[in-house]
Amino acid sequence: MGPVDGTLSYGFSSSQSGISVLSGDYLTHEFGATFGVHGQYVVNDFRLRPKATLTFNRVFSGAYDLAGTILNQYLSVPIAGNAASLGTMEVTTEISRQFDIGGGRLIQPYVEAGAVYEYLRPNDGRILSGDLDFVTPSPWSFSLRGGATALVAENVSLDARGGYLSFGQNGLDVWKAQVRVAIGF
């Protein structure tokens, strides 16, 4: 087993909501926790990096009134407070190999496979589809990512990656691409 890490977070916001001439203010609080364990193992020329992460988030907003005047009549509509929780377990494994391409430059291509299980979902996982129907997608999703990190100068690295993140989710296609440049000084 490798290093263990964790984070705790708290967020707070004050928001306004309005419909036509009615408006109201409400407060939102968010609590979060993340716990992870990861490792790095060398097998021949390859590096294996397994990682497991457990997350939990709780968001809640207080009750408030949407209020205003319509045709000289005061109107107040009570809006109930609400809360939602989200919890996920994610397991990934990255396989990479480093190559020396000459001139002190290195490149490290990698591939990563992963699985996410949403053990706690708002509204029991029900979401509104594009057809305005409620659907309940699977709590499981799987991903496959690939990319390469290159040391292009002594203090400059370039990372390009992409992947498909929604295997196991019928009717949902989530792609992600990213390019990062890091300059040390």
Domain co-membership, 118 together with 81:
no
78 and 143 together in one domain: no
Return the pLDDT at 109: 97
- Give the dihedral of Cα atoms 41, 45, 46, 47; nearest 10 deg: 40
**Full domain range(s) for residue 5:** 1-36+53-86
The verdict on 148 and 126 lying in the same domain is yes
Same domain, 66 and 115: no
pLDDT of residue 112: 98
Model's pTM, two decimal places? 0.78
Mean pLDDT by 10 residues, the chain (185 residues): 90 92 94 97 96 97 93 93 96 96 87 97 87 88 96 90 92 91 93
Same domain as 104, residue 67: no
pLDDT number for residue 101 = 85
In a domain, 18, yes or no: yes
What is the domain-level CATH number for residue 109? 2.20.200
Are 115 and 57 found together in one domain? no
CB atoms within 10 A of CB 154: 8
